[in-house]
DNA sequence: AACAATTATGAAAAATTTTTCATCAGTAAG
DNA sequence: CTTACTGATGAAAAATTTTTCATAATTGTT
């Protein structure tokens, strides 16, 4: 797991980091809000532990900033205070949970697991077979490999997943994926299906898209 | 507002529909789960009112199905029963709220507003100026017009929005948007900035991307 | 004002995606 | 086993996106 620790007290930050690494995770420390933003460019984190009091940008401000720019990485605020106002502010700023200092490492991992459990219910990935369609990056993930999809392939796969288990005819695909109201004069659909099949089935070793002769396609997975 | 009413009792469905239309919204009625899925292809709804008991596919099943395929339109379940088990099931299936029958129209609108208030906090749109960057469709929305962005333009705009208010130099843009570790040998960045500017500034009549001579770019909005 | 450095721009070139088309393969039914 | 129809495939063509390049415009400095 990739963990970002945003904490100006180096002692606390390093203790957390050591413990996470001991548990087999990967942890990065940022000593202030600006460093944190810096660290997040390009990299992906599964969770952010964020100190409430930070030099320059406060934890609350950073939290708001991240949320306002569409970043929804789970955030746990670390706060020294234990008054109710904090909790309200924290949740309103878009944090997922908070831990009051001093805390034990066990408490931190417990909170992380709880937050991630909740978060995973809303994560923007659609699983099928051994794969996942990542709706944000528009890629298919399989055993830490990434398959890039073109825009059309992405839309078609999303459509198949939405309708998995039911036969869909080409008129509907044409209408819903291509936004054509008239029926396709050519075989664009078949060609796109072919290309999508190749991408998916080169990676996984099974076929998801079944052809129902004279009727359409049927997507099977799980 | 676009409202989908999934309800097999036509009397209730039509009463709701009439009331919504009277309030200036747009409402579509689906009499069963399959019709509902049909209605959702291609169309967008802001909220779904979903009957608990439906012929064929139950409300709960439909709810689960939508959520499992990445659809996160707010759902309010309409249920005749009032036992705790329902509430738990509803929320676990991914519904946002529930209303027990019989209900008044005022109650429905109140619940809708409450759900939408909560939902909007997590919606995947980044506002800037009079515009919105839609992270799902990868378009810019402005006065019910849509501006299509290419993949690079989208990534660059997202990056600008994430870093708005701070000057970002080209080495960082190159690293974070293009994933090049070496500095750009050509002026791809300037060209992409130019094209993005044209798209945004043809539509809105103001300039968002400011050039800081010798330093980089600065995105200003709000 | 003149100069050097930086940025902007139009247009060509390259790469990629999307569509078309001709042809081959598979299916159902007589 | 044919036949007629439906779907699959490779490759060409068209459209779009991305990059490159030459040149023009702008900025800061002397």
Question: Structural domains in chain A?
Answer: 2-120 (3.40.50.2300), 125-219 (1.10.10.10)
Strand C and A214 CB separated by under 7 Å: yes
pLDDT of the residue at A163 = 87
Contact B162 A94 (CB under 8 A): no
pLDDT value at position B117? 65
| Least CB–CB distance from B162: residue in A69, A161, A162 | A69
Handedness of CA A122, A151, B177, B191 (dihedral sign): negative
Does residue B69 register a pLDDT over 80? no
**Dihedrals phi, psi of B159, to nearest 5 degrees:** -65, -45
Sign of the Cα torsion A147, A153, A155, A161 reads: negative
Q: Given this model, what pLDDT does residue B107 score? A: 85
In chain B, which ranges are E strands? 2-6, 26-30, 47-51, 75-79, 97-100, 125-128, 131-134, 139-142, 145-148, 167-168, 209-212, 216-219
Nearest-CA neighbor of A6 among A46, A50, A39, A38?
A: A50
pLDDT for B210:
95
Residue A194: which pLDDT band, with cuts at 50, 70 and 90? very high
DSSP conformation letters of A59-122? HHHHHHHHHHTT----EEEEES---HHHHHHHHHHT-SEEEESS--HHHHHHHHHHHHHHHHTT
**What is the pLDDT confidence band of residue A55, given thresholds at 50, 70 and 90?**
confident
Nearest to A3 by CA among A54, A135, A13: A13
For A112-122, what is each residue's pLDDT tens digit? 887 776 666 55
Instruction: Tell me which of A8-17, A115-124, A211-220, B53-62 is least confident.
Output: A115-124
Question: Does A10 score more than 70 pLDDT?
Answer: yes
Q: In chain A, whose CA is at the least distance from the CA of B73? A: A122
Q: Which residue of A has its CA nearest to B162?
A: A69
Between the CA of B78 and the C1' of C14, what is the distance in angstroms? 57
Give dist(CA B8, CA B53) in Å, integer: 8
Q: How far in angstroms lies nucleotide C12's C1' from the CA of residue B109?
A: 58
Evaluate if the CB of A186 falls below 7 Å from strand C. yes
At residue A221, the pLDDT reads 87
Contact B158 A41 (CB under 8 A): no
Minimal C-alpha gap between B160 and chain A (Å): 10
Give A6's pLDDT tier (boundaries 50, 70, 90). Answer: very high
Positions of strand C less than 7 angstroms from a protein CB? 6-11, 16-22, 27-28
In this complex, the nucleotide whose C1' atom is nearest to the CA atom of residue B192 is: D18
Residue (of A58, A28, A57) closest to A44 by Cα position = A28
Contacts of B70 in chain A (CB under 8 A): 124-126, 133, 135, 158, 161-162
Q: Which residue has the higher pLDDT, A218 or A113?
A: A218
A209: part of which helix (H) or strand (E)? strand A209-212
**For residues A92 and A26, what is the distance between their CA atoms, to the nearest angstrom?**
29
Could you say which residues 14-53 of protein chain A have a Cβ atom less than 7 A away from any atom in strand C? none
Bond before A102 cis per omega within 30 degrees: yes
Lowest-pLDDT range of A3-12, A61-70, A198-207, B195-204: A61-70
Q: Return the minimum-mean-pLDDT range out of A34-38, A216-220, B207-211.
A: A34-38
Q: Which one of A20-24, A42-46, A218-222, B193-197 scores highest in mean pLDDT?
A: B193-197
CA distances (Å), origin A152, targets A126, A162, A163, B152? 17, 15, 16, 17
Lowest mean pLDDT across A48-52, A196-200, B99-103: B99-103
The predicted pLDDT at position A120 comes to 61
Quote the tokens at residue B9.
């009792």
pLDDT of amino acid B200 = 94
Q: Which of B70, B126, B175 sits opposite A126 (nearest CB)?
A: B70
> Of A64-78, A180-194, B82-96, which one has max mean pLDDT?
A180-194
Q: Look at A25-29, B13-17, B92-96 and tell me which has the smallest mean pLDDT.
A: B92-96
B186 or B41, which is more confident?
A: B186
- Cβ of A37 within 8 Å of Cβ of B163? The answer is yes
Give pLDDT, residue A12. Answer: 92
A31 pLDDT above the threshold of 70:
yes
> pLDDT tens digit string along B134-164?
888 899 999 888 899 999 999 999 999 988 8
* pLDDT attached to residue A54: 86
Minimum distance, in Å, between the CA of residue B130 and any CA atom of chain A = 15
Q: E strand or H helix at A139, and its extent?
A: strand A139-142
% of chain A with per-residue pLDDT over 70: 91
Residues B154 and B138: beta-carbon distance below 8 Å: yes
- Residues A137 and A196: their CA atoms lie apart, in Å, by 17
Residue with tokens 């532990």: A49
């Amino acid at each position: 797991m990739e963990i970002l620790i945003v904490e100006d007290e180096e002692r606390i930050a390093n203790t957390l980091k050591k413990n996470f690494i001991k548990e087999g995770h990967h942890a990065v420390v940022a000593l202030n809000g600006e460093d944190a933003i810096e660290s997040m460019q390009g990299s992906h984190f599964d969770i952010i532990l964020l100190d409430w009091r930070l030099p320059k940008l406060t934890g609350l401000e950073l939290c708001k900033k991240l949320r306002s720019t569409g970043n929804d990485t789970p955030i746990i605020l670390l706060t020294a205070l234990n008054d109710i106002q904090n909790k309200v502010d924290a949740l309103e700023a878009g944090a997922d949970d908070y831990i009051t200092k001093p805390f034990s490492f066990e408490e931190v991992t417990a909170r992380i697991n709880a937050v991630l459990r909740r978060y995973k219910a809303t994560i923007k990935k659609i699983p099928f077979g051994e794969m996942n369609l990542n709706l944000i990056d528009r890629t298919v993930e399989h055993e830490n490999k990434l398959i890039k999809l073109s825009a059309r392939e992405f839309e078609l796969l999303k459509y198949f997943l939405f309708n998995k288990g039911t036969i869909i005819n080409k008129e509907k695909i044409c209408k819903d994926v291509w936004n054509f109201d008239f029926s396709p004069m050519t075989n664009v659909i078949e060609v796109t299906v072919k290309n999508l099949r190749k991408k998916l089935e080169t990676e996984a070793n099974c076929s998801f898209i079944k052809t129902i002769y004279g009727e359409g396609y049927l997507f099977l997975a799980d």
